[in-house]
Amino acid sequence: MTWDRRGLLFAPPAGLDWMKTHAALPTAEAVDGGFHRVYFSGRDGEGRARIGWAEVDLRRPQAPPRALSAAPAIDLGPLGAFDDHGVTSSWVLDQGGRKYQYYTGWSLGVTVPFYLAVGLALSDDGGATWRRHSAAPLLPPDGADPFLTASPCVLVEGGVWRMWYVSATRWVMEEGRPKHYYNIRYAESADGLAWRRTGHVCIDYASADEHAIARPCVVKDGGLYRMWYCHRGAAYRIGYAESRDGLAWERHDERGLPPAAEGWDAEMTAYPFVLDAGGVRYMLYNGAGYGRSGVGLAVADAAAHAR
């Protein structure tokens, strides 16, 4: 599968009180008239992320968003909570008339710079308002994931909720600073709320230089699972893997999306979200500055998509 870059879908919106920079970690759902609501994470003047949204027409990437969230869809958690210093977007799905938004909560660390944990917000009014499922994280530290959890992707198949998510394997001191190492793991649930974790690793480090494998996005094509994610040594680039069961994966990173030769996504490509609409496969992603430049769009080669 090859990708045709279509440029920036939208830059970080200006003039909003709750965000000053960034439009990172896009995740989208179809709304009316062929438009999609793209949830993303913007940062305030202190670098704290909140989740907002923009409604866009993927068929017309140069057109400005028709609507923006004037206030955060999901704001910071209360002081002392797992998400009191940031919430970043990850995954939205509808199930049984209710919307589930899985996200990553951030809090500041002492011996390490930050702690991350998966959280969940729910909406019973079509996404107009969101409420936290709990003040506690959905995936707190445990024996399988003792350090952090983040960036969940969730599919529901035959009544089984399947999650691919990020988990840290360790922090190490390098050049006098703590450095994180994390890969992609798997969990299951009967209701999307209580999750069974065994530590099963789906995407592991490919070399000694690789230290972060992040933001999985899984799409099922017939009997084949496809996963896009970002991985890094010096800088992120989008990789790709395939699986027949969602558990054992083969990496084919040459079929991902590398940085461009020049422009806003030449420094890095990161945080992919892949969706199908109108017979076209799209990828939303970020480039330079971890989303500082905005959300980009790429379109899959139609012949490769059919295969």
pTM of the model: 0.96
pLDDT of residue 302: 63
pLDDT of residue 307: 46
What DSSP string describes 228-270?
EEEEESSSEEEEEEEESSSSSEEE-GGGSBPPPSSSTTSS--E
Checking 69-76 for CB contacts under 8 A at 24+ apart, the result is 70/16, 71/18, 72/18, 73/39, 73/101, 73/127, 73/130, 74/50, 74/101, 74/103, 74/121, 74/130, 74/132, 75/18, 75/50, 76/48, 76/50
pLDDT of residue 306: 46
CATH: 3.40.50.970, 2.115.10.20, 3.60.15.10, 3.30.750.24. Which one for 3-306? Answer: 2.115.10.20
Rounded CA separation 150/139 (Å): 9
Report which of 170, 168, 165, 198 is spatially closest to residue 184, judged by C-alpha positions: 165
pLDDT of residue 301: 85
Report which of 42, 152, 166, 136 is spatially closest to residue 91, judged by C-alpha positions: 152
The residue type found at 39 is Y
Q: What dihedral angle (degrees, nearest 10) is formed by the CA atoms of 289, 100, 170, 188?
A: -140
Rounded CA separation 186/198 (Å): 8
Tens of each residue's pLDDT in the chain, 307 residues = 799 999 999 999 988 989 999 999 999 999 998 999 999 999 999 999 999 999 999 999 999 999 999 999 999 999 999 999 999 999 999 999 999 999 999 999 999 999 999 999 999 999 999 999 999 999 999 999 999 999 999 999 999 999 999 999 999 999 999 999 999 999 999 999 999 999 999 999 999 999 999 999 999 999 999 999 999 999 999 999 999 999 999 999 999 999 999 999 999 999 999 999 999 999 999 999 999 999 999 999 865 444 4
Structural domain boundaries in the chain: 3-306
pLDDT of residue 303: 55
Rounded CA separation 237/235 (Å): 7
